[in-house]
Chains A and B, each alone.
Chain A
Amino acid sequence: MLEIENLTVEVGGREILHNLSLSVMTGYTTVLFGPNGSGKSTLLMTIMGFSGYKVKSGRILLNGEDITHMPVNERAKRGIGMMMQRPPNLTGVRLKDLVRVTSKGNVDTDKVAEELDMARFMERDVNVGFSGGEIKRSEILQLTAQNPCLVLLDEPESGVDMVSIEKLGAKVHDLLTGPTHCAGWREKSGKAALIITHTGQILDYVEADRGYVMCQGTVACSGNPRELLAEIRKMGYQECISCKVNKAVQIKENAISEV
């Protein structure tokens, strides 16, 4: 579904992602691990197309279509939706009005709000005065209204209390497994997700198929997400970094010895 090829991205004149490649297959849930500052959020923001995330080289392909320089709403139209880590406050815009517009009447947003314990927030201005956990629930409510086919989640569990995480996890699960309103090709093949997680808690609610570890702006390795998480818990990210360095040295040595 999503192919990222040799992506190099600059933010504020500084190169954050270097020659990064990864893919998210249709129907698969892919998890991104990596230490703070490794570029995970930058990657998601770039996929969504926010300005300020400048693609210097490489491509982003969605179902074979090059979306690298497409406006944000065109990407949304093609089925990408994102849960942001720090969404802006929309003073004066009520949550119920926003989800009414985005759901286009296809989703019973009042019911979803009830399930997420967000009913009392529907009259409030979007994100204004919301706590960390409330922002997550508001984001997942908005995403449910939007019902995207490629779901980008930036740390869905951070700042969420133990009780709320169950509701949130259940909704993320629904979002990934529920019916899609997107154009034909997705109906048969299902949705895909790219999820940033530090704790891996979200993996209790969604079945993840593949994991990537990002370090210093690029992919350090990939594999089974649960195994990767266990490894990171045991060894820390330092191991990933040195592992990658070792691999690079190994490749280099092999290349030399071959000569």
Chain B
Amino acid sequence: MTSNDENRAKDALKKQAKFGEDIDLDSYHDGKRDIAEMESLEDLPKDTKETMHDSGLTPSGKGRSGNFLLMDNSVVHSAIMGEGVELMPLRQALKVHDWLKDYVWKAVQPDADKYTAETYLAKADGYFIRALPGAKVKMPVQTCLLLKNRNTKQYVHNVLIAEEGSEVEVVTGCATTKGVEKGLHLGISEFYLKKNSKLTFTMVHNWSEFIGVRPRTNILMDEGATFINNYVALKPVKTIQTYPTAHMNGANGICRFNSVAVAHPGSVMDLGSRAILNAPGCKAELISRTITTGGTVIARGQLVGNAPGIKAHLECKGLILNNKGVQIAIPELEARVPDVEMTHEAAVGKIAQDQVEYLMSRGLTEEEAVGMIVRGFLDVGIRGIPDHLKAEIEKILQETDVRGS
């Protein structure tokens, strides 16, 4: 963390992001940094525990290797139950591991835009997760980033390292407590996947109508690493703009992004995923399934082929269930060497009438038929999701209002 970085960040404080509505950062208060720590997540109020459940998390921590909870800007809980993995607040980890400074603000640049700049200057805390070399971490680590008070600006800085030959699964739920109408979440995530490691990362966004969200995520992958990213955002939000990018720098890496999102009336969701295939034999697959019931979805996807023998596929499909809804699919393929196999498939439109009537001919009402088709459509996007999360996600999906009035 050189002063050079600090100067760059200061210079970037007004730098607008390339995508997404420009958010006025001064209209939010800094989130509290002094919320008291708690022994157990079981001590949380009932409705907060329900919110965690709805975000794919288990407050009891049962079946988890680790628990982490950030409330506004305070780490209120961090506990490790399993073996082969480290979990602690990033600020603490920087004191424990001298070498960690070489990983901080290296995958994401402080001056990328005003959101990264402000998060840098705020010296944000977040989680530090490290799967030890060769460790196959049995149970997932769960982290929860919660906006607790209204008008709050939450800064988060996460670093995740999967050491050589390790395997780990992380589940992150991002949510607001009930009654928080307005808020802003700025989240920096830097993931490092060493040789032959595997990370399965599932993020459930469970925000509310007036929340702005600007995650900034980069993943650096070494040889033979596997990264599986599942993103689920089914609840209303004001504005999200995110474009996580996997830099596949070692040969024979594998990465998969699966995204599922519903844009409710009033929501603007600018969701991208990008894989830059820099080494031979890398494979990437980016799949997104989005629905609008009145909001705007921009489904971006980019594949960059910089090395021979790579294979990559990009798929964005969108359903429009309401006359006011907008779907924008922007798939991009960029090849810089001849020996690549890169494809994309994009489609937006309404539900096919023949499918609806086919189900109606089996006795389903029109509403039931549309619901079944829409859930099926989204289901394709989350087939890669870990089994223990499926039931929870299915439940959220069942409760999601997909009527396209």
Enumerate chain A interface residues (CB-CB to B < 8 A). Answer: 48-51, 71-73, 75-77, 81-82, 84, 87-94, 97-98, 101-102, 125, 142, 145-146
- Partner pick for B361 among A76, A91, A125, CB 8 A cutoff: A76
- Give B362's nearest chain A residue, CB to CB: A102
Size band of the interface chain B makes with A: 20 to 34
| Docked complex Cα distance between A51 and B356 (Å) | 11
- Partner pick for B359 among A77, A89, A98, CB 8 A cutoff: A98
- Asked, given contacts A51-B357, A72-B357, whether A90 binds B363 with beta carbons under 8 Å apart, the answer is no
Interface of A is mostly: mixed
- Asked, given contacts A73-B364, A76-B363, whether A51 binds B353 with beta carbons under 8 Å apart, the answer is yes
Enumerate chain B interface residues (CB-CB to A < 8 A). Answer: 352-355, 357-366, 368-369, 372-373, 375-380
Q: Are A92 and B361 in contact (CB under 8 A)?
A: no
- A227 CB → nearest B CB, Å: 33
Q: Are B363 and A77 in contact (CB under 8 A)?
A: yes
Q: Are B377 and A146 in contact (CB under 8 A)?
A: no
| Docked complex Cα distance between A71 and B369 (Å) | 13
- Asked, given contacts A71-B366, A88-B354, A88-B355, whether A93 binds B373 with beta carbons under 8 Å apart, the answer is yes
What B residues does A142 contact at CB under 8 A?
Answer: 362
- B385 CB → nearest A CB, Å: 14
- A18 CB → nearest B CB, Å: 24
- B289 CB → nearest A CB, Å: 8
Tally inter-chain residue pairs, CB-CB below 8 A: 74
| Docked complex Cα distance between A123 and B354 (Å) | 22
Q: Are A73 and B360 in contact (CB under 8 A)?
A: yes
Instruction: List 6 contacting pairs A-B, 8 Å CB cutoff, sorted by A.
Output: A49-B357, A71-B366, A72-B357, A73-B365, A91-B376, A101-B364
- Give A75's nearest chain B residue, CB to CB: B361
What B residues does A49 contact at CB under 8 A?
Answer: 357, 361
- Give A143's nearest chain B residue, CB to CB: B362
Q: Are A90 and B362 in contact (CB under 8 A)?
A: no
- Asked, given contacts A51-B357, A88-B354, A91-B380, whether A146 binds B373 with beta carbons under 8 Å apart, the answer is no
Q: Are A90 and B376 in contact (CB under 8 A)?
A: yes
- Give B352's nearest chain A residue, CB to CB: A88
Q: Are A102 and B357 in contact (CB under 8 A)?
A: no
Q: Are A71 and B360 in contact (CB under 8 A)?
A: yes
- B150 CB → nearest A CB, Å: 38
Q: Are B377 and A92 in contact (CB under 8 A)?
A: yes
- Asked, given contacts A102-B362, A142-B362, whether A92 binds B379 with beta carbons under 8 Å apart, the answer is yes
What A residues does B358 contact at CB under 8 A?
Answer: 84, 87-88, 90
What A residues does B365 contact at CB under 8 A?
Answer: 73
| Docked complex Cα distance between A112 and B393 (Å) | 30
Given contacts A82-B361, A90-B359, A92-B380, 10 further A-B contacts (CB under 8 A): A51-B357, A71-B366, A72-B357, A72-B360, A77-B363, A81-B362, A90-B358, A93-B375, A102-B362, A146-B362
What A residues does B362 contact at CB under 8 A?
Answer: 76, 81, 98, 101-102, 142, 145-146
What B residues does A48 contact at CB under 8 A?
Answer: 361
What B residues does A92 contact at CB under 8 A?
Answer: 373, 375-380
| Docked complex Cα distance between A146 and B376 (Å) | 20
| Docked complex Cα distance between A50 and B378 (Å) | 26
- A220 CB → nearest B CB, Å: 28
Most chain-A CB neighbours within 10 Å: which of B354, B355, B361? B361
- Partner pick for B360 among A76, A90, A97, A101, CB 8 A cutoff: A76
What A residues does B360 contact at CB under 8 A?
Answer: 71-73, 76
